[in-house]
Amino acid sequence: MALPDRLDGIELERELADRPAWKREGLMITRTATFPSFTAAIRAVDAIALMAEELNHHPDIDIRWRTVRLALTTHDVGGLSTLDIEAARRIDALVTREGGVSPSA
């Protein structure tokens, strides 16, 4: 299986412009979402886990009651890649489906 393309700074900023909930933190992108209930947060995490298995790209996940923090990076390329952007796109849809919002929203 071929490695995904690593994104340079300009490419990454262009991609993140379409994903405003995600912020760059060094070699990762992160997103925090707050859900209407603990069970909604867990449903979202469960859906994200299934998506991650399909994509074979697994985010770091931190669950604190109704708040979930996600972090993505592509270890194999030593930074951020097109795979991170695809996972972020899918995560955004799953977060929305379960009623999650970004803290600033």
89-100 pLDDT, tens digit each: 999 999 999 999
Domains recognised in the chain with CATH numbers: 9-97 (3.30.1360.20)
E-strand spans in the chain? 23-25, 28-34, 60-64, 67-72
49-85 pLDDT, tens digit each: 999 999 999 999 999 999 999 999 999 898 999 999 9
Q: What is the pTM of this model?
A: 0.93
6-42 pLDDT, tens digit each: 998 899 999 999 999 999 999 999 999 999 999 999 9
- Report the C-alpha gap between 39 and 36 in whole angstroms: 8
